[in-house]
Amino acid sequence: MEFAIILVVLAAIAAYNMVAIVPQGFKYIVQRWGKYNSTLTPGINWIIPFMDKVAFKVTTKDIVLDIPSQEVITLDNAVLIMNAVSYINITTPEKAVYGIEDYTWAIQNLVQTSLRSIVGEMNLDDALSSRDHIKAKLKAAISDDIADWGITLKTVEIQDIKPSPTMQSAMEAQAAAERQRRATVTKADGEKQAAILEADGRLEASKRDAEAQVVLARASQEAIGLVTSAIGDKEIPVAYLLGEQYVKAMQDMSKSNNAKTVVLPADLMNTIKGVMGRS
């Protein structure tokens, strides 16, 4: 009786171990006597009790790997702090578990190493503005390597690129100096244009003054000529006109800042006759 009970219990255990139910999104690696035997897909699978063993349970869903931040030196010796994130999928589970000890750690180090190599061939400005270029080169650099482990790289993204604190301070100082230089140049250009406009204004005013004086002189000349031709030898009207112009000239001289004393001739008529060329 006891022997029968033991047989029933062993049969139940064997029946339980014969069935391997694999959930959706996973694959199971089965070893027989410690050696790889088969890969079980989602659903009900049959194995041999006590001979076969489910050694690994591998997900077939996409895996997100965070790549830790690291310092990267560019071609022009600038220090950048960069981190990334990669999306992988295990397509051949047996290669992932038997081909590499820890594929997660391996991929993280592979991405970091490739990232340092790629950015090390770029200048600072290119590294800061070429995320898509870095992403493409990074994906091409590691895709073949991880394919040997039965893993497909879906994509890799550069999360953050920023200068180190020391480099950031230097860049801020450089930017401030550049803004100051531009402000100085703008101010100098403004002063230059203002000086040119002011000089042009003075030149134009001088030309207009000179033209006005010429016009007035010609008008006076024509007036005197007309009066002289009209009166002939009569000196009184001519003397009057010349005297008027003479007195006006003396008034203008008296208003000048440089004029301290204005002297009028005692014999105004004889002076005017002298101007007319008559005795």
Tokens describing residue 118 = 């790629």
What's domain 63-163's superfamily in CATH?
Answer: Band 7 domain (3.30.479.30)
The confidence band for 212, taking pLDDT boundaries of 50, 70 and 90, is confident
Domain boundaries, the chain: 2-59, 63-163, 167-219, 233-279
Of the candidates 157, 36, 18, 142, which has an alpha carbon nearest to the alpha carbon of residue 92?
A: 36
pLDDT tens-digit profile of 223-272? 666 666 765 555 555 565 666 666 666 666 666 665 555 555 545 555 55
pLDDT for residue 202: 81
Element (H, E) at 250: helix 235-255
Per residue in 39-53, pLDDT tens? Answer: 999 988 888 887 888
Q: Are strands 63-73 and 52-59 parallel, antiparallel or unpaired?
A: unpaired
Q: Which amino acid is at 75?
A: L
